[in-house]
Amino acid sequence: MGKMPTPAPAEAPVREEVAFDLSDMQPHREFEVILHNDDEHSMEEVTLQIIRALGCSVARAKAIMFEAHLKGQARVIIAAESRALRVAAVLREIGLGVTVRRVN
């Protein structure tokens, strides 16, 4: 029997280099929403508004509300700017005192 011809070595696929312009990219920034103690609204009103703002459980909302009540303020959330501003806007709908500040 004759010798089988050996196939020619396959060429490696050509890989194109892709350059990205990252000069316009902004670093990821996070913002915290701080709820301030409130003597004008009932605890239930504040709890319900936290639930509306975060979509969280009653237990989580009550924990935030009690921390603000006892310590004068409580962190509600740390999130991207757009989310933090939406949460703050919902809390402010009923006149709650809120601060939004960058954390990084």
Q: What is the CATH number of the domain that holds 80?
A: 3.30.1390.10
As a dihedral over the C-alpha atoms of residue 75, residue 40, residue 55, residue 103, rounded to 10 degrees, the angle is -20
Owning domain of residue 54:
30-102
CA distance 59 to 47: 9
- Whether 24 is in a domain gets the answer no
Query: What is the model's pTM?
Result: 0.74
Residue 12 falls inside a structural domain = no
**Residue 60 forms part of a structural domain:** yes
**Position 32 confidence tier, pLDDT thresholds 50, 70, 90:** very high
Confidence at 25, pLDDT banded by 50, 70, 90: low
pLDDT band with cut points at 50, 70 and 90 for residue 28: confident
At residue 17, does pLDDT exceed 90?
no
Q: Quick check: 9 pLDDT over 90? A: no
Q: Residue 40: inside a domain, yes or no?
A: yes
Band of residue 21 on the pLDDT scale cut at 50, 70, 90: low
Residue 18 placed within a domain: no
Domain annotation covers residue 4: no
Per the structure, how many domains does the chain have?
1
Phi/psi zone of residue 87: left (φ > 0), alpha (ψ -120 to 50 degrees), beta?
Answer: alpha
| N- to C-terminal Cα separation, the chain | 75
Q: What is the mean pLDDT of residues 72-85?
A: 97
What is the rounded distance in angstroms from the CA atom of residue 67 to the CA atom of residue 84?
19
Which distant-in-sequence residues (6+ apart) come within 8 Å of 50 by Cβ? 35, 56, 60, 61, 64, 65, 76, 91
Q: Evaluate whether residue 14 is within a structural domain.
A: no
Residue 10 lies in a domain: no
